Structure 1
Amino acid sequence: MRVVFMGTPAFSVPALQAIAATHEVVAVYSQPPRAAGRGQKPRPSPVQEAAEVLGIPVRVPERLRAPEDQAAFADLRADVAVVVAYGLILPQPVLDAPRLGCLNIHASILPRWRGAAPIHRAVMAGDAETGVAIMQMEAGLDTGPVLAEARTPIGPTDTTGDLHDRLARMGAALIVGTLARLPLPAVPQPDAGVTYAAKIDKAEARIDWTRPAPEVDRLIRGLSPFPGAWCEIAGERVKLLRSRLVPGKGAPGEVLGGFVVACGGANGTGGDSRPGAVEVLEAQRQGKRPMPAAEVLRGLTLPTRLD
């Protein structure tokens, strides 16, 4: 089929590569290059870089509201458009242009976690599983009917980064199978169970050790690798990137040995009968690479209590 691919971040790249191996990708749409790095030079998105390696023409409009941009899209005469974390709202003329419409690969089991940060929110909420859904796009935010889905458990030490890579591979395999079977019946999403995955606010990232240990653990894993949950240690902001729940009892923030930190009880006060602890497995000091906790502790002495 003639496919238009629309995506921007690294999450989208496996799907682009898989589709390009089996279909004619007539154009790739991606967000324009953004300033990045110390020199703040414009840097193409991961999708643009991958498309250029594949020899596929790339378009990087700032938006798709202009009639000339919509006409240029329609002129591609695509059978279908595949959208994966593109980052722009598609106007109705764009949604209607491909013969089979626009399909979206969404990183959750819809209708749970519609919106911007479904992987982060699934980990932070303590969900037992997540997955990917292939959705027929419509004007609403992730409201379209679902053509296919695949599920995966969220392990007790899985981070958002771990799931990101796993779901990207799952989405690539699922979209190739879906395209091979089009047209498919689309199942409307149920009204029950709708949740929204709000964009991550950096203000959420500071660790509050008075919270229950499971909540602290999920925050650390859910915000890893970006933006990274953090705490201050001897005046330095340290990101905690990987953790696990362990037995332990102490005042919230008390260091129990190694990089094991006591947390509060279920009521968030530390006075509950069910306190626990979190063992930090990986961390990142300012200006340094992520390191295993044992390596971090060779150059950083923890106080008896973390704020």
Structure 2
Amino acid sequence: MERHVAEVRAFNRFYTRLIGVLHQGILDTPYSLTEMRVLFELDRADRMETGDLRRLLGLDAGYLSRMLTRFEGDGLVVRKRSATDARRQVVELTDEGRARFALFDGRAAEEVRELLAGVTDEDRGRLVASMAAIEEILGREPRAGSPYLLRPLRPGDLGWVIYRHGTLYSSEQGWGMDFEALVARVAADYVDHHDPAREAGWIAEVDGERVGCVFCVRKDDETAQLRLLLVEPSARGMGIGGRLVAECVRFARAAGYRRMRLWTRDVLLGARRIYRAAGFELVEKEQHGDIVDEIWVRDL
């Protein structure tokens, strides 16, 4: 945790410096970032009550009032009493204000365009995806009731499965490249020896993004194996893990297997709860240093 705190703070310092550089362009205007945000919100709306604007941006009433007084002096806004409640004040951009903001906004876009000009298409995609991830993770609300989709594997999914197992379990459990290599071998074996009548894999998606996976593979004629169950932290609590396991069990039963087994580790408490709820029983343990491998089995 402390390492993560330090890394977030270091990123904040870097981004603050970057925003400062961009703001020098902001564009060569006399307005601060907060003032530009007020103009942005007013440009998006026909008009806003000053109380709504203050609450939206978390501004002190006196500070906002002084800001709007300045904008009035510059000919950018007008303030009027609300037609429905004389105690309330409504503010809107003038034609001059909209024209000036459009100019400022164009300059801002050009500053960012220049910043990205030396970045490859691939890195721009990574950058935007990472920014979206930051916004989604730190700004998301509980997703327990969100819809999700289970679908068959598509090209590109196996690479994601290997990558996310490697990065996620390194972050959460400290497992190294040996574990990632094991996942890669499982994925490769699935492709090399795939029997579509008796083996399948599924990807779980939320809003078009992969958030989970599971595989059903052949152990022998009577036994199927559940492998590579994973649910992203952002999607936990939505019932996706249990749904993936249930789909795997359903497929194995329909494919004619008599039992299903799986391998896990004792530290994966969330996964163990899912397996127990799905009818699996712990039948074998094996200690490897600090790691305890487990075999769970259920009849079909």
Range of TM-score over shorter length: under 0.3
Task: Tell me the TM-score normalised to structure 2 length.
Answer: 0.26
Relative contact order, higher structure (CA 8 A, sep 6+): 1
Larger gyration radius, structure 1 or structure 2: 2
Name whichever structure is richer in helix by fraction: 2
Task: Tell me the TM-score normalised to structure 1 length.
Answer: 0.26
